[in-house]
């Protein structure tokens, strides 16, 4: 008899992922009430060295509570000398995922994956060191735990002696546009969602909406947040609209009604295989 294939795991919905500092249990409790698809409980940059032990304990306690969101923990980097204690404190409480900062390609993914148990996912931040840029195409086929790829524009400038990653108008300079684009292609090459980086100016919700819309346009399917006010804006930006769903359904229906057709016309425009693929991907997220 043929073995029954195990169904693939249900895709996790990652539109909005809200950072919460690991040494702020009060903010974890607030974040738990929000509509963020995931929380990222931070043990890395948002927590001072002296506060890391208390933060580990606070996160472990929060993980022990009932969950309504996916809970990721951002641990310290593989070479930090801190990650052993991070993992020892939190893995017994079974986080849904680990965010790996300063990741450097598939090798670092494999190193972390070998240390995890259960079905804990891994979300690397893939652009934080110079070497990381050259490993962006190496995340595929390494570990089933990989659940996305994201990027950051804050650590790399410091690592290479750049004074900023941004132009005066807030847009990225060329090196960071490259880092963003490589994240997008690296994620899709590995078959996982591309997650946009944070929008630091958390009072500027119009700017956030425009930024998130550009990310969605380019092929990102989710984004990280740093403040509660950003969550609804991000969820809206990365949720297909009714009009988009209707259009996708029309494309799928038209191909279904014309089996064997390669190119068809819808509303006076040519549609072919890539349009059908995009429509199916959109319906899968809707
Ligand atoms: N998670 C949960 N609650 C948060 C929050 C977060 N990330 N950020 C702010 N809040 C809460 C505050 O506790 C406050 O609640 P209250 O009205 O009940 O008192 C409310 O939202 C409004 O906060 P506000 O005064 O606007 O922000 P702030 O000046 O106190 O804090 C930051 C601003 C940026 C320090 C804070 O948003 C933060 O810590 N963000 C995450 C930072 C982080 O983890 N960075 C690492 C990755 S880049
Ligand atoms: Mg950082």
List the residue whose alpha carbon is closest to atom 4 of ligand 1. Answer: 27
Mutate to test the pocket of ligand 1, among 197, 226, 231 (most ligand atoms within 8 A of CB): 226
User: What is the CA(198)–ligand 1 centre distance, in A?
Assistant: 14
In angstroms, the CA 1 to CA 18 distance is 47
Express as a percent the part of the chain with pLDDT over 70. 96
> What gap in Å lies between CA 65 and CA 204, rounded to an integer?
33
Q: Is the CB of 42 under 6 A from ligand 1?
A: yes
Q: What is the pLDDT of residue 12?
A: 73
- The rounded distance, in Å, linking the Cα atoms of 207 and 201 is 8
pLDDT value, residue 212: 98
Structure tokens at 100: 């790996």
* Ligand 1 atom with the shortest distance to the CA of 42: 44
Strands 70-74 and 97-100 come out as parallel
How far does residue 114's CA lie from ligand 2's centre (Å)?
23
Residue 149, phi then psi, degrees to nearest 5: -140, 135
Question: Measured from the CB, is residue 20 less than 6 Å from ligand 1?
Answer: yes
Give the pLDDT confidence score for residue 286 in this predicted structure: 82
Q: Which domains does the chain have, with CATH numbers?
A: 16-237 (3.20.20.60), 242-285 (no CATH)
pLDDT in tens, 31-75: 999 999 999 999 999 999 999 999 999 999 999 999 999 999 999
Distance CA 237, CA 195 (A): 13
pLDDT number for residue 8: 46
């Amino acid at each position: 008899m043929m073995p029954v294939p195990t169904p693939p795991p249900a895709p996790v919905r990652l539109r909005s992922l809200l950072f919460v500092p690991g040494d702020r249990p009060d903010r974890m409790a607030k974040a738990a009430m929000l509509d963020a698809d995931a929380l990222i409980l931070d043990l890395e940059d948002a927590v001072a060295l002296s506060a890391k032990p208390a933060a580990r304990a606070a996160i472990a306690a929060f993980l022990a509570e009932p969950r309504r969101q996916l809970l990721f923990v951002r641990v310290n980097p593989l070479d930090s000398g801190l990650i052993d204690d991070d993992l020892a404190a939190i893995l017994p409480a079974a986080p849904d995922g680990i965010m790996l900062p300063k990741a450097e390609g598939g090798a670092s993914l494999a190193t972390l994956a070998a240390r995890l148990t259960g079905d804990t996912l891994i979300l690397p931040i893939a652009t934080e060191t110079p070497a990381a840029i050259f490993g962006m195409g190496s995340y595929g086929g390494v570990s089933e735990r990989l659940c996305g790829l994201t990027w950051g524009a804050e650590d790399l400038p410091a690592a290479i002696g750049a004074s900023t990653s941004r132009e005066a108008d807030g847009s990225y300079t060329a090196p960071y546009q490259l880092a963003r684009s490589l994240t997008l292609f690296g994620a899709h090459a590995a078959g996982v969602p591309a997650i946009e980086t944070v929008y630091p100016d958390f009072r500027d919700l119009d700017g956030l909406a425009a930024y998130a819309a550009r990310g969605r346009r380019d092929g990102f399917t989710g984004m990280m947040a740093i403040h509660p006010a950003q969550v609804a804006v991000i969820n809206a930006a990365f949720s297909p609209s009714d009009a988009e769903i209707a259009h996708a359904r029309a494309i799928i229906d038209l191909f279904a009604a014309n089996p064997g057709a390669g190119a068809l016309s819808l509303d006076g425009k040519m549609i072919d295989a890539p349009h059908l693929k995009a429509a199916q991907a959109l319906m899968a997220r809707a």
